[in-house]
């Protein structure tokens, strides 16, 4: 007698859980790359040149032996953002940020020795503003959403929202301070590296927000989102 083979379809709930987990993993991966990038660039280059090497900006590490790390990381973040799919507004915003991030990688900043910003450098600056501006929008408007009214949200959700908003504000302030730093005397810029620190704060804020949204920090996690 032939054996009867029963093909059991996968439970819908299991499929939903796996899809949800993939979104969380994607968010966590984007957050991890963003958080690690400044440290990898700075310490990696410092090890290679055998001294602490503060550049004028994170983007200027393009002109060091860390070029491939910078370009590869930004392209990876950009591709992950383009691949991110959630609600329509999330998809459009992440696609815009992803394309901008890839442009930041492929159109390098002008060298420190350049007397003026060329076309490629200008594209880099515009793409960087769009990239960080869109990520601030995620922190301030998208990550703070909830299916629950504010008075019924959990303590952890309200705490996460405060962190998201803080990250969004820090990103915006970093953009403003980066623009304002262009008006500082050249000797001061060479000493305090304001653009470098603005970019570090912005990308760490972005990385932290996405890491939390990816539920990688257990004390901030609950099941209400």
pLDDT tens-digit readout, 86-128: 788 989 999 999 999 999 999 998 887 777 788 898 999 999 9
Between residues 214 and 82, the one the model is more confident about: 82
Q: What is the DSSP string of 34-79?
A: HHHHHHHHHHHHHHHHTS----S-SGGGGGSTTHHHHHHHHHHHHH
Comparing 184 with 87, the larger pLDDT belongs to 87
- pLDDT cut 70: percent of the chain above it: 85
Instruction: Report yes or no on 22 lying in a domain.
Output: yes
Q: 34-38: list long-range contacts, CB under 8 Å, 24+ apart.
A: 34/77, 34/203, 34/204, 34/206, 34/207, 34/210, 35/203, 35/204, 35/207, 35/208, 35/211, 36/207, 37/70, 37/73, 37/203, 37/207, 38/199, 38/200, 38/203, 38/204
Asked whether residue 87 is assigned to any structural domain, the reply reads yes
Does residue 70 lie in a domain region?
A: yes
Give a yes or no: residue 48 inside a domain: yes
**Is 225 inside a domain boundary?**
no
Number of domains in the chain: 1
Q: What domain range is 190 assigned to? A: 17-215
- Residue 197 in any domain: the answer is yes
pLDDT of residue 5: 46
Between 204 and 10, the higher pLDDT residue: 204
pTM of the model: 0.82
pLDDT confidence tier of residue 224, bands split at 50, 70 and 90: very low
Answer whether residue 66 shows pLDDT above 70.
Answer: yes
Note whether residue 91 is domain-resident. yes
Q: Is the pLDDT of residue 205 over 90?
A: yes
6 within a domain of the structure (yes/no): no
């Amino acid at each position: 007698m032939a054996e009867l083979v029963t093909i059991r379809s996968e439970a819908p709930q299991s499929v939903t859980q796996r899809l949800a987990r993939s979104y969380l993993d994607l968010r966590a991966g984007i957050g991890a790359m963003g958080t690690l990038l400044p440290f990898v660039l700075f310490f990696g280059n410092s090890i290679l040149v055998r001294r602490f090497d503060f550049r004028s900006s994170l983007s200027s590490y393009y002109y060091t032996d860390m070029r491939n790390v910078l370009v590869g990381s930004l392209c990876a973040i950009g591709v992950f953002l383009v691949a991110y799919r959630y609600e329509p507004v999330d998809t459009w915003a992440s696609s815009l940020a992803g394309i901008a991030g890839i442009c930041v990688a492929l159109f390098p900043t002008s060298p420190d020795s350049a007397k003026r910003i060329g076309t490629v450098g200008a594209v880099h600056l515009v793409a960087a503003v769009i990239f960080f501006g869109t990520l601030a929008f995620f922190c301030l408007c998208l990550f703070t959403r909830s299916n629950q009214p504010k008075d019924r949200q959990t303590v952890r959700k309200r705490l996460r929202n405060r962190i998201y908003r803080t990250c969004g504000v820090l990103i915006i302030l970093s953009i403003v301070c980066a623009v304002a730093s262009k008006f500082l005397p050249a000797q001061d810029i060479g000493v305090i590296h304001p653009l470098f620190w603005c970019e570090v704060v912005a990308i760490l804020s972005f990385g932290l927000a996405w890491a939390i949204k990816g539920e990688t920090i257990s004390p901030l996690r609950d099941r209400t989102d």
